[in-house]
Amino acid sequence: METDVTRDMSPDAFVELVEEMVNRRRLCDHPFLDRLERGEVTRGQIDKICYQMMYYYNNSVRNIGSCLMHNMDRGARTAIMENLIDEETEQRCGYAAHYVIALDFAAACGYDRKEIEQANLRGEIRPHPALEEGLEDVARFGTREEPALAMAAGMVGAESLLPDFYIRLVPSLKPYGFSDKDLDIFIVHIEGDLEHAAEGRKLIRAYADTPERRQRFYAICEYVRDRLWEAWDGVFQAADLDLPQAVHPRKPAPPRKPRKAAKKKLKKAA
């Protein structure tokens, strides 16, 4: 923002301003989803983006941990821990840690679960450069910025965009033969990330409490939004490339099924 239009805003009005900015680049509008809905993507290409997703789900949670490591404020630490509980345990959001749930999708794409896990543990899964750079940029940002605002930027600038993205992604994948269990990694995030976005808005109201902090937060939230797009754009670009992979599907991908996606209604994000 070139001029400070936030100085006299109420906390709620500032949150609305931030959300308007975030929604100018919605991940659910990515053109790859158009191709997927039209059936123009092969199962082999989906296997390629699945491989990229294994890197994404194993590494994105590190950014949350970096905020916790640098934060001594009790309220902010509580919000960060609540997010980590959802992402890394089976207590609330899904039957297991989310990187474990993601393995269901990998298995449905023909990958061996143990091979994927071992490759992740050894750091052998190398992603599309845009995906790696997007996540690394956010990880570095999480250690440099005021932690409460960094966490809020992640929740509002990134997680708030994911429910609508997954709401569009899930039915687009159904005609390719995937079940709800196969796609659970996306389904659990629809409600979970709505809750995280709500927590992020609380952090904004509590910590973006001066003109200077508001100016800074607006900028970093926009930065996180753009890195999320960059990361997922890398995931989708991989579909059209022959990038090196540490592991490959053990069974060939079946063709797209000539049927309509199941008409299961998914809760639309607010």
Task: Identify whether 250 is part of a domain.
Answer: no
Task: Identify whether 269 is part of a domain.
Answer: no
Task: Identify whether 132 is part of a domain.
Answer: yes
Q: How many structural domains compose the chain?
A: 1
- Residue 139 pLDDT greater than 50, yes or no: yes
- Residue 47 pLDDT greater than 60, yes or no: yes
Task: Identify whether 131 is part of a domain.
Answer: yes
Task: Identify whether 254 is part of a domain.
Answer: no
pLDDT value of residue 108: 95
Q: 2-17, pLDDT tens digit by residue?
A: 567 787 899 999 999 9
Q: pLDDT-derived band of residue 211, with 50, 70 and 90 as boundaries? A: very high
* Structural domain harbouring 137: 11-240
Residue whose structure tokens are 């750079």: 133
Q: Which residues, including other chains, have CB under 8 Å from residue 20's CB and lie 6 or more apart?
A: none
For the chain, strand residue ranges (E) read none
Task: Identify whether 174 is part of a domain.
Answer: yes
Task: Identify whether 130 is part of a domain.
Answer: yes
pLDDT value of residue 270: 43
pLDDT value of residue 7: 78
Supply the DSSP symbol for 261: P
Distance CA 50, CA 111 (A): 9
pTM: 0.86
Question: What CATH number is associated with residue 157?
Answer: 1.20.910.10
Task: Identify whether 5 is part of a domain.
Answer: no
Distance CA 93, CA 249 (A): 28
Distance set, CA 13 to CA 10, 120, 212, 223 (Å): 5, 42, 16, 20
pLDDT value of residue 263: 46
Q: 78-102, pLDDT tens digit by residue?
A: 767 666 666 665 555 556 566 888 9
Give percent of the chain above pLDDT 90.
62
